[in-house]
Amino acid sequence: MAYAEQYIDKLRKSGLRPTKQRIKICEVLFDAEQTFHFTIKELVKIIENQANIKVSLATVYNTVHAFIKKGYLKEIPLNASQSYYDTNVTHHHHFFDEEENRLIDIHQHDVDEVNIKKTIPGKKIKSVEVIAKIVSDNQSQK
Amino acid sequence: MAYAEQYIDKLRKSGLRPTKQRIKICEVLFDAEQTFHFTIKELVKIIENQANIKVSLATVYNTVHAFIKKGYLKEIPLNASQSYYDTNVTHHHHFFDEEENRLIDIHQHDVDEVNIKKTIPGKKIKSVEVIAKIVSDNQSQK
DNA sequence: TAATACATTATATTTATTCTAAACTGTTGA
DNA sequence: TCAACAGTTTAGAATAAATATAATGTATTA
C-alpha cells in the first residue's frame, strides 16, 4: 500500500484532502497500465468490485469533477446519454463506435494538426477535439 | 401559406406523413434565413411563440429524431446536459463557448481537411467533427 | 486535542429523454 | 366517398443521469 503515497501527495498538492475514498478512486484510475475511458456507472462498478470500502455515488461524481478541474481527467465531447471520461489527458482524439458504444483513442500523431483559421474576438481556443464516428464497413470488397 | 407545399413534398418524399405538427416544425427549422443551433427546449419555446397550434414534447422529440435519420438535421457531439441540434447539415465544425453555452459554426474551408491515419478493421468512418472549446482571452495585450 | 473547514453519505430532487396506450388523422383502395 | 388501416399525436407515467441537501464524519490547524 506504499504506492498510495503518491496519490496522497498528488491530492494534497492540488488542495484536495486525501481521504480514503479519493485514494481508492486514484488507484482505480491511475494504477492502470493503460489509460482508459469510463462512465460514472462503470467507475462505480470497478470500485465496488476491487475495493472493500463503500463509496457513494455523490462522492464519485464530486471526485471525478474535482479531478477534471485539476486536469487529471478529461471529459470527452460526445452526445451520449451518459458522460464519458478519459484518464488520458494528453492531447489526442477519438473514434466513437456507435454500434458498440465504444471509444477508441487516436493518437495525436495520427491526425494532422487541426488548424482553425477562424477566430472569435475576445476568445481563445482552449482545446480542440476530433470525434470520428465509425460504423461497420459492410462493403462486399468492390 | 403556399410555401408549406415544399415541406409537404419533403416529408412525403422521405416517407413521413405531412401532419400539421411536422409542417409547423419544418417552418420553424427551415424557413429561417440562416441555419441555427437549438436544443429541444428552445425549439419547443419557438414553436409555442410563433404557432397557434399546440405540439406536444413527445412529438417534437419524435420529429427531430425522424429528421436526423433523414439527414435534415444533425446532432452536435457535445457533452452537455441537453442535446444540441443543427439545421446546417453540410460538413462543418464548431466552436463551443463554455462560458456562454453557445455554439458557433466553423465553415469547412476554415479547417484543413482532417486526415486520420489510423483505421479500425471492419469499420469505416461515418463522420468527422471538430469541436474547439473557447474561453475568454484575458491576456493583458502582451 | 479541540475547533473548524472540508468530505462523505443516503436520500430527495431535478431535468432531459423515452415509453405507453388511448385517441386521432392521413392514406389507400374499393 | 368512405371504411379500414397504419402511422401519428398526445398527456402523462416511467426512466435515468446528474445535482442538491443536510446530517454525520474526518483531516487539518493551531
Q: Which nucleotides of C are covered by protein (CB under 7 A)?
A: 6-11, 15-20, 25-27
Q: How many residues does the structure list for chain A?
A: 142
Q: What does pTM read for this prediction?
A: 0.92
- Residue from A122, A128, A124 nearest A106 by CA: A128
pLDDT one-digit tens code per residue, B54-91: 899 999 999 999 999 999 999 999 999 999 999 999 99
Residues B125, A132: Cα–Cα separation, whole Å = 6
Interface test with B, best of A68, A93, A116, A140 (most B CBs within 10 A): A116
User: Taking CB atoms and an 8 Å cutoff, what residues of chain A touch B106?
Assistant: 116, 118
pLDDT one-digit tens code per residue, A48-103: 998 888 999 999 999 999 999 999 999 999 999 999 999 999 999 999 998 888 99
**Averaged pLDDT for residues A92-118:** 94
B125 forms bridges with which residues in the sheet? Answer: A134
Residues B97, A127: Cα–Cα separation, whole Å = 11
| Whether A78 and B77 lie within 8 Å, measured CB to CB | yes
Task: Tell me the one-letter amino acid at A53.
Answer: I
- By C-alpha distance, the chain B residue nearest A131 is B129
Query: Please, are residues A95 and A103 in contact by the beta-carbon 8 Å criterion?
Result: yes
User: Taking CB atoms and an 8 Å cutoff, what residues of chain B touch A96?
Assistant: 77
